[in-house]
Structure 1
Amino acid sequence: MSETKTALVTGANKGIGYEIAAGLGALGWSVGIGARDRARREDAVGRLRDVGVDAFGVPLDVTDDGSVTAAAELIAERAGHLDALVNNAGITGGHPQQPSTVDPAVIRTVVETNVIGVIRVTNAMLPLLRRSASPRIVNMSSGVGSLTRQSGPGSETTTGPVAVAYAPSKTFLNAVTLQYVQELADTNVLVNMACPGFVATDLNGFRGGRTPQQGAATAIRLATLPDGGPTGGFFEDAGVVPW
């Protein structure tokens, strides 16, 4: 088994995912660039290799069983194990989404990617993670998934526009993450959630005030936690996110 630490980052061809891959690569990790689009995936791998990152492309559609199975097989053949899985791929379903008028199909599509996709990828990669001495799972959540922030004073300014598909999908993801934490409690797999903050990406029309590199910092920290580090936490740059 290779001694090089290996990570898979989903949705890594651009934005926060790309910067997570770049950050782990700068630490000497080999990083799988999970992405659906071949051209964008290859471009991201090329740019990362140009700056010295040991990046490799992983064709990956998190909503497709066959694609996820093939991705796990690719990593198994290349590295034999996986040290960190960063479930970063996600969609918003468009904004705004009023609960009284939303098309239920929009919610279904968002949950398929943001929640079920995470479950699908995590389950496929767990056998590889179990082969690692220090396996880590990081699920990219969002502050808008915090029930405390959605219901507290000034919530209309801190959580942004009504998004009945996206925001609850992140609350759902947080709950699912805790289920993995409970199941894996007697193992060395640390499972945490990261909030990147309001980052300027094409996901929000580049309206955010933070850079993708800033948004990637917490995920990189959680992917490289030392043994005995926290598990089951929801973190941002400033510390723990209120749930």
Structure 2
Amino acid sequence: MTTALVTGANQGLGLETTRRLIAAGHTVYAGMRDLASQGAARELGALPVQLDVTDQDSVDKAIASLPELDVLINNAAIVGPSWSLDDLDVEAMRSAFETNVFGIVRVTQAALPLLRRSHRPVIVNVASGLGFPRALLDPDDDAFTGYMAPYASSKAAVITLTVQYAKSLPQMRINASDPGYTATDLNHNSGHQTVTEGTDATVALALLGPDGPTGQFHDRRGPIGY
């Protein structure tokens, strides 16, 4: 049986990813900052674990509580406090990067010893089309109208970080997913996709075998060329 850890699993994309991985036969540890919000994940059959990706002690304790790990889904993210250049400052950038980028590094580094023991280790970093310059410049792409500089910049870093991890750990399948414009609390439920559609790429990458691609960026239609 495959064991997975999903960060930010108490709602939205993280909760739906948890549901789908459980349906696929995985044992899923649902990471969340506050265990008071564990109800929905527990009802799905997940094993809630307190995990704040911005807190190294919390990350270390969460990883230490896992008996094994095959699949890591770095899903936890925030939009950040800045939606335009008018209110952009360094603190807004730092806030987004603390969760969206540094959080991935904290969790991944802590999880590597467990993943190295797995026969089919997989990491999926949930990124965004907002972090892909080609999409940001395409008037026909949903990302074109996104001006959240901290969030977009952090997701660009996630894509690059994914490639660097994949190059350094060729024995693992490490990829980034683009959920697309999905209705979640992050965008006040304004997205035109359902959370199921928004997790298609993440779940497909999570289920990869040892011969699957690595170092790639996928949306629900497949790989996105760099």
Kindly provide the amino acid, as one letter, of the partner of residue 172 in structure 1.
A
Where do residues 4-83 of structure 1 align in structure 2 (5 Å cutoff)? 4-41=1-38, 43-49=39-45, 55-75=46-66, 79=67, 81-83=68-70
CA RMSD of aligned residues (A): 1.5
Aligned AA (2:18) = A
- Deviation (angstroms), 1:97: 2.2
Query: Are 1:162 and 2:147 matched, yes or no?
Result: yes
The verdict on how the C-alpha distance between 1:166 and 1:197 changes in structure 2, with shifts beyond 3 A counting, is: same
Q: Which amino acid aligns with 2:161?
A: V
1:127-175 CA-partner distances (Å, limit 9, x unpaired): 11111100000000001111111234x1685433311100010001111
So what's the TM-score if we normalise by structure 1? 0.89
> Which of 124, 130, 140 is the equivalent residue of 2:126?
140
The CA deviation string for residues 175-211 of structure 1, in whole angstroms up to 9 with x for no partner, is 11111111112x2x11000011111000000000111
Which residue pairs with 2:164 in the alignment?
Answer: 179
2:179 match: 196
Q: Which residues of structure 1 form unaligned runs of 5+? A: 50-54
Cα deviations by residue, 1:98-129 (Å, 9 ceiling, x for unpaired) = 1x641210110100100000000000001111
Q: Corresponding residue for 2:71?
A: 84
Deviation of 1:217 after TM superposition, in Å, equals: 1.5
How far apart, in 1, do the equivalents of 2:180 and 2:196 lie? 11
Q: Secondary structure of 1:229's match?
A: coil
> How far, CA to CA, are the matches of 2:200 and 2:221 in structure 1?
11
Aligned-pair identity in percent equals 41
Aligned partners of 1:190 and 1:231 also within 8 Å: yes
SS class of match (1:165): helix
For residue 209 of structure 1, give the secondary structure of its aligned residue in structure 2. coil
TM-score calculated relative to the size of structure 2: 0.95
Count of residue pairs brought into register by the alignment: 226
1:56-100 CA deviation, whole Å, 9 max, x = no partner?
01100001010000011111xxx3x211000000000145221x6
2: CA distance between counterparts of 1:168 and 1:38? 30
**Counterpart amino acid of residue 201 in structure 1:** T
